Amino acid sequence: MVKRLELITEAPLPDDYGMPDALGPDGQSLWRRILSEFTIDDAAGREVLSQCCHAADLAVRLRQLVDKDGAVVRTKSGLKENPAARLELAARAFICRALGRLGVLSEPLRDRPGRPPSSLV
């Protein structure tokens, strides 16, 4: 029995292709913003981007905890830094490092106003 091909009328947006299902709104937003400006079509690059997006979702959840509980929490032994604040910072630092390794941070600035560097004068 031969299978008939069907025309797909609702194809996913190009930047949604390969987006992990488990991403929250912030991770999805990062995924779309990066892929709207850069082409990342290798499996390793997509996996790094996926990890960045998961970390973005985590960072937002941690920020909500810090906002709710405060940057400092009271313990038996006194005031201590809220562990969620440190974890949020680690998640955000991971995102920056990973995006740098993907090469999306190294694009030169365009139409930068101001004087040229002194080496060009």
29 or 104: which carries more pLDDT confidence? 29
pLDDT in tens, 69-79: 999 988 899 99
pLDDT in tens, 107-119: 555 554 545 555 5
pLDDT in tens, 40-53: 888 899 999 999 99
Q: What is the pTM of this model?
A: 0.73
Distance CA 115, CA 113 (A): 7
Residue 83, phi-psi category: left (phi > 0), alpha (psi -120 to 50), beta (remainder): alpha
* pLDDT attached to residue 36: 87
The domain ranges of the chain are 23-102
